[in-house]
Amino acid sequence: MAVAKHSPDRTTARAPTAEHEDKHVQYVTAWVADQLFGIPIADVRDVFIIQSMTPVPLAPPQILGLVNLRGRVVTAISLRWQLGLPEPADRQRMIAIGIESDGESYGVIVDRIGEVLNLMPDTAAPTPFHLDSRWAGMSAGVHSLDDCLLVILNVSSVLAFSNDITAR
């Protein structure tokens, strides 16, 4: 997977053109509720549709279950839950962003996947201080796009949750 170099070159914030690609960070974007989030492409292993999932009884509530991804066991985590948003009553089609952390595989479940965007990382605004603490903890900054804001997800904090909750 291509890893975009962090560039000291100062250009405009929005320049998703091929010529400047090497100066930008690519983000895999995804929608949760009506918010756009971005994860640096270097942190993303793959994006996949979940066909079947095995729920784990007594697991922390943000762990939705285990998924077989080509012979690997992937732990599915609800980004909605992590953001303090309600779970939809019925998820028709689950889309997950595959992430590796400490040698273990996770699938972060999102509502839908957006485009891959090229953005200059150092033009991101810092996280507004009055953001919900849960959100603030997962945000590595906010990019202003033409039509919306994009929250850069801090992958390690998405996966950081206490695991001593043993019952729903």
Partner 1 sequence: MDELLREFLTETNEHLDVVDVELVRFERDPNDIDVLRNVFRLVHTIKGTCGFLGLPRLEAIAHAAESLLGRFREGKVEVQPEDVALILASIDRIKHIVAELDRTEAEPPGTDRDIIDQLEGSLTRPQEAARVARLAPTAEALPNEGERGGTRQPTIRVTVDVLEHLMTMVSELVLTRNQLLDLARRQDDPALMVPLQRLSHVTVELQEGVMKARMQPIGTVWQKMPRILRDLAVDLGKSIDLKLRGPETELDRQVLEFVKDPLTQLVRNAADHGIEVPAERLKAGKPERGTITLSAFHDGGSITVEVSDDGRGLDYQRIRRIAVGRGLISEVEAERLSDAAVSRFIFHPGFSTAQAVTSVSGRGVGMDIVKTNIDLIGGSVEVRSEAGRGTTFVVKLPLTLAIVATLIVGVAGQRFAIPQMSIMELVRVRPGQGDAVVEKLNDALVFRQRNELIPVIPFATLLGLTPQDGAITQDGFIVVIQIGRQRFGLLVDTVLHTEEIVVKPLNKRLRNLRCFSGSTILGDGSIILIVEPGGLVRMFEDYAESAVPTVEARPEPEPQWVEDDSEGPVSLLVFRAGTDMAKAVPLSLVTRLEEIDVARIEQAGGRLLLQYRGHLMPLVFADPAMSLQKEGRQAMVVFSDGDRWMGLIVDEILDIVEDELTVELVADRPELVGSAIVRGRATEILNVAHFLPLGHGDWLQREVAPQAVTRTVLLVDDSEFFRSMLAPLLRASGYRVLVADGVEAALATLALPRLVDVVVTDLEMPVRNGFDLIESLRAEARFAGLPIIALSSYVSPPMVERARKLGVVNFVAKFDRSGLVEALSAVLSARSRGVAA
Task: Report the interface residues with partner 1, using CB under 8 A.
Answer: 52, 54-60, 63, 66-68, 71, 73, 75, 102, 104, 106, 159, 161, 163-164, 166-168
The minimum distance between CB 162 and partner 1, in angstroms, equals 9
Pairing of β 72-78 and β 104-110: parallel
C-beta separation of 47 from 28 below 8 A: yes
Nearer to partner 1, 9 or 87 (CB): 87
What is the maximal distance between C-alpha atoms in the chain? 52
The minimum distance between CB 137 and partner 1, in angstroms, equals 17
The minimum distance between CB 83 and partner 1, in angstroms, equals 18
Nearer to partner 1, 22 or 104 (CB): 104
Q: Report residue 46: phi and psi, to 5°.
A: -165, 170
Nearer to partner 1, 60 or 121 (CB): 60
Nearer to partner 1, 64 or 95 (CB): 64
3-state secondary structure of 143: strand
Q: Please state, in angstroms and rounded to a whole number, the distance separating the CA atoms of residues 114 and 31.
A: 7
Structure tokens at 55: 């729920």
C-beta separation of 135 from 54 below 8 A: no
Helix (H) or strand (E) segment spanning residue 13: none
3-state secondary structure of 155: helix
149, β-bridge pairs: 144
The minimum distance between CB 167 and partner 1, in angstroms, equals 6
The minimum distance between CB 153 and partner 1, in angstroms, equals 18
Nearer to partner 1, 19 or 90 (CB): 90
